[in-house]
């Protein structure tokens, strides 16, 4: 099979030979000249004929020239027990069969780490938006895939990343295994933490060590599924997972405009499609519609199951269109962006869901997560210490913190350990009149987050009532320090948060009055009955406040109407006519009775 024909030749030949049409061998050779030399094209036609994919047939009419056509009997087409194409480079050759499934791979193409691809993602320089950096960007090209980078399709922008474009080398996070998802507190002694190695055996490390041995006998698909449960976030059910995957899929699926299923349905009939499936594919052909239906039906239990489906989609597209095609290049972008989202979901599912539901609440970043984040002040050049959440901490020296800032666009940045300060319980010392509007809004959002952290995170989870969460946010916000809008404003053109390029953006927060009759959230509320009573009191107090405001407004309108009227100078009833500008009367009788008293001051001569 080392000198076999490329799999993409089947697609090209089918356009010439569809519906059982025969063509001379020279025509089939010329159709492959865009992919290979004339000698290689001739050898490909010869190999396909020897394998029984192409069968000779006498030409019709006066010309008795020998023609080639596809074998029309599916049962006579050659088939193998395993996939004849490498799952990594998607080319034929001397492949090694997986011991767990029908997939195959070249020994030189096998990934050492199943999470890291052995190809480089095309550069996005010149694009209007810089995508998150993946570890594959810095890895050299594999020897088996020394190919030119095809044209990059138009990307679908991910606006939830909020990554600085100005200083990517210092700020942008390279997602590697050197990042620790278990965030430790800043007040801990780092030296002792590094000197004392954990005595408990690391399950993830032991599983990675096993990859060096028996797991290398299996394909990437099976190796990933073996670690699916270990890499999945705890307490993430299928319903919430389906919601998170839909957010990611809706952002990135437009990278691929054409898949195998859609292409065959557009160009070929059912018989031709059956011939191509028999020759090229050993596993089920997945399309974009199949993956979308799986997400909507909540068929995925683990994140890895969604990832391996995308790898199957990539393999099918590469085999069908070729490893140098634009369609295959688009799958690299799709895998890169979806892999980034999967890492974010593994790190904190709540943060990922809140960021995608930012339009539903202005204070989405203040909601507490099930996995509590350490709160710090992070210092960047040109900015004061800014409140932020710690997302992860690097393991290698120098230690850097991946933080996400409060306020503004909630941007992300990498901050050195020396520029990180733990947040104390009392932050009133940081609330100063000279603070900028952006910093004041960030501190207010931090106060709201610390107050909401006294509640259980399940009140803000995926299955929680959103109206209850919004009520708790309003209550907490009413007890936070008011933003010093009249204080010193920031410099012109300064971003609203660190690590955010562009002009500052004003973020309007809820302006709830401070006299709302509701208690401050306290840590002791854990009983559901007590919580229901507190919620009922809050709702009732809010309704009473609205009723009082309506009555006050009605009274004010009546008072304004009374002030516009004139009143009788004698009996104090509503006046009908004026005697002069100092007196008015309701009738002539009142004017006659009051004549003796008013005559001394009347300005009108009678």
What pLDDT score was predicted for residue 560? 85
The mean-pLDDT minimum among 10-19, 70-79, 154-163, 263-272 falls in: 154-163
pLDDT at 1 over 50: no
| Residue ending a domain, choose from 71, 90, 108 | 108
pLDDT at 324 over 90: no
Per-residue confidence at 152, pLDDT binned at 50, 70, 90? very low
Residues ≥6 apart with Cβ < 8 Å to 77: 52, 53, 71, 275, 278, 279
The mean-pLDDT minimum among 16-30, 337-351, 457-471, 538-552 falls in: 16-30
What pLDDT score was predicted for residue 217? 87
Report the pLDDT averaged over residues 443-454.
89
The mean-pLDDT minimum among 96-105, 231-240, 306-315, 423-432 falls in: 423-432
Per-residue confidence at 74, pLDDT binned at 50, 70, 90? low
**Token representation of residue 518:** 């509701």
Residue 18: domain span: 8-108
DSSP 23: B
**Residue 225 belongs to some domain of the structure:** no
What is the three-class DSSP state of 46?
helix
pLDDT at 151 over 60: no
> pLDDT tens digits, residue range 554-582?
999 888 888 888 888 888 888 888 888 77
Q: Scanning the structure block, which residue is given the tokens 């009555």?
A: 551
Is 402:167 a contact under the CB 8 Å cutoff? no
Is residue 470 domain-shared with residue 571, that is, in the same domain? no
What pLDDT score was predicted for residue 274? 84
Q: What is the number of structural domains in the chain? A: 3
Mean residue pLDDT across the chain = 76
Phi-psi category of 407—alpha, beta or left, where left has phi over 0 and alpha has psi -120 to 50? left
pLDDT at 362 over 70: yes
**Token representation of residue 233:** 């976030």
What pLDDT score was predicted for residue 345? 94
The mean-pLDDT minimum among 285-294, 303-312, 396-405, 533-542 falls in: 533-542
The mean-pLDDT minimum among 74-83, 219-228, 298-307 falls in: 74-83
Three-state SS string over 193-228 comes to HHHCCCCCCCHHHHHHHHCCCHHHHCCHHHHHHHCH
**Residue 436 belongs to some domain of the structure:** yes
Give the predicted TM-score (pTM) of the model.
Answer: 0.67
What pLDDT score was predicted for residue 137? 41
**Residue 300 belongs to some domain of the structure:** no
Is 9:55 a contact under the CB 8 Å cutoff? no
Is residue 473 domain-shared with residue 369, that is, in the same domain? yes
Per-residue confidence at 135, pLDDT binned at 50, 70, 90? very low
**Residue 439 belongs to some domain of the structure:** yes
**Residue 539 belongs to some domain of the structure:** no
CATH code for position 445:
2.30.30.140
**Token representation of residue 178:** 């050197």
Is residue 371 domain-shared with residue 473, that is, in the same domain? yes
What pLDDT score was predicted for residue 59? 57
| Residue ending a domain, choose from 479, 505, 530 | 479
Q: Which residue has the higher pLDDT, 173 or 366?
A: 366
Distances (CA, A) of 71 to 19, 272, 580: 11, 10, 115
What pLDDT score was predicted for residue 143? 42
Inter-axis angle of helices 303-321 and 260-267, nearest 10: 40
Is 204:230 a contact under the CB 8 Å cutoff? yes
- CB count in 10 Å sphere of residue 379: 16
pLDDT at 294 over 90: yes
Report the pLDDT averaged over residues 74-80.
68
Report the pLDDT averaged over residues 23-48.
85
Distances (CA, A) of 465 to 111, 370, 374, 471, 540: 44, 16, 26, 10, 18
What pLDDT score was predicted for residue 427? 62
* Percent of the chain residues topping a pLDDT of 70: 72
What pLDDT score was predicted for residue 429? 62
**Residue 207 belongs to some domain of the structure:** no
Is 249:362 a contact under the CB 8 Å cutoff? no
| Residue ending a domain, choose from 82, 108, 134 | 108
**Residue 456 belongs to some domain of the structure:** yes
What pLDDT score was predicted for residue 481? 58
> pLDDT tens digits, residue range 487-527?
444 444 556 677 765 544 443 333 433 343 333 344 344 45
The mean-pLDDT minimum among 37-41, 146-150, 413-417 falls in: 146-150
Residues ≥6 apart with Cβ < 8 Å to 305: 225, 228
**Residue 249 belongs to some domain of the structure:** no
């Amino acid at each position: 099979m080392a000198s076999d024909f490329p799999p993409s030749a089947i697609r090209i030949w089918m356009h010439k030979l569809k519906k059982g049409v025969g063509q001379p061998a020279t025509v089939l050779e010329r159709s492959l000249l865009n992919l290979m030399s004339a000698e290689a094209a001739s050898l490909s036609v010869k190999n396909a004929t020897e394998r029984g994919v192409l069968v000779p047939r006498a030409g019709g009419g006066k010309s008795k020239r020998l023609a080639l056509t596809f074998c029309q009997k599916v049962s006579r087409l050659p088939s193998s027990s395993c996939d004849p194409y490498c799952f990594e480079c998607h080319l034929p050759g001397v492949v090694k069969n997986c011991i767990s499934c029908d997939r195959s791979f070249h020994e030189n193409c096998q990934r050492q780490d199943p999470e890291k691809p052995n190809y480089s993602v095309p550069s996005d320089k010149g694009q209007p938006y810089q995508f998150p950096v993946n570890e594959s960007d810095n890895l050299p090209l594999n020897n088996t895939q020394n190919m030119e980078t095809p044209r990059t399709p138009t990307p679908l922008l991910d606006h939830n990343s909020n990554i600085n474009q100005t200083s990517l080398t210092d700020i942008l996070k390279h997602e590697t295994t050197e990042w620790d998802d278990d965030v430790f507190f800043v007040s801990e002694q780092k030296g002792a933490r590094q000197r004392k190695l954990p005595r408990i055996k690391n399950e993830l490390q032991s599983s990675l060590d096993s990859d060096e041995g028996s797991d290398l006998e299996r394909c990437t698909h099976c190796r990933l599924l073996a670690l699916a449960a270990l890499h999945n976030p705890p307490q993430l059910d299928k319903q919430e997972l389906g919601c998170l995957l839909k957010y990611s899929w809706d952002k990135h699926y437009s990278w691929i405009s054409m898949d195998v299923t859609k292409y065959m349905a557009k160009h070929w009939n059912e018989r031709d499609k059956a011939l191509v499936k028999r020759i090229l594919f050993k596993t089920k052909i997945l399309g974009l519609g199949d993956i979308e239906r799986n997400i909507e039906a909540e068929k995925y239990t683990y994140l890895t199951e969604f990832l391996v489906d995308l790898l199957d989609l990539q393999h099918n597209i590469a085999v069908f269109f070729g490893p140098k095609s634009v369609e295959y290049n688009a799958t690299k972008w799709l895998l890169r962006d979806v892999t980034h989202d999967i890492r974010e979901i593994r790190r904190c599912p709540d943060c990922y869901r809140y960021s995608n539901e930012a339009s539903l609440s202005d204070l989405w970043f203040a909601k507490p997560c099930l996995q509590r984040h350490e709160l710090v002040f992070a210092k960047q050049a040109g900015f004061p210490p800014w409140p932020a959440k710690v997302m992860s901490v690097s393991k290698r020296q120098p230690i850097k913190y991946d933080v996400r800032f409060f306020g503004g666009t909630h941007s992300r940045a990498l901050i050195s350990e020396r520029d990180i300060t733990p947040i104390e319980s009392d932050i009133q010392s940081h609330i100063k009149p000279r603070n900028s509007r952006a910093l004041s809004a960030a501190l207010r959002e931090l106060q709201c987050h610390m107050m909401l952290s006294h509640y259980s995170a399940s009140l803000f989870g995926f299955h929680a009532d959103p109206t209850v969460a919004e009520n708790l946010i309003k209550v907490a916000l009413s007890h936070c320090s008011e933003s010093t809008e009249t204080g010193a404003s920031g410099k012109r053109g300064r971003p609203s948060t660190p690590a955010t390029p562009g002009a500052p953006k004003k973020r309007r927060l809820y302006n709830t009055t401070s006299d709302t009759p509701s208690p401050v959230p306290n840590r002791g509320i854990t009983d559901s009955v007590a919580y229901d009573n507190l919620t009922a009191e809050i709702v009732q107090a809010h309704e009473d406040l609205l009723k009082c405001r309506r009555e006050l407004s009605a009274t004010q309108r009546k008072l304004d109407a009374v002030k516009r009227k004139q009143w009788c100078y004698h009996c104090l009833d509503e006046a009908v006519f004026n005697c002069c500008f100092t007196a008015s009367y309701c009738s002539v009788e009142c004017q006659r009775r009051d004549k003796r008293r008013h005559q001394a001051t009347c300005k009108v001569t009678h």
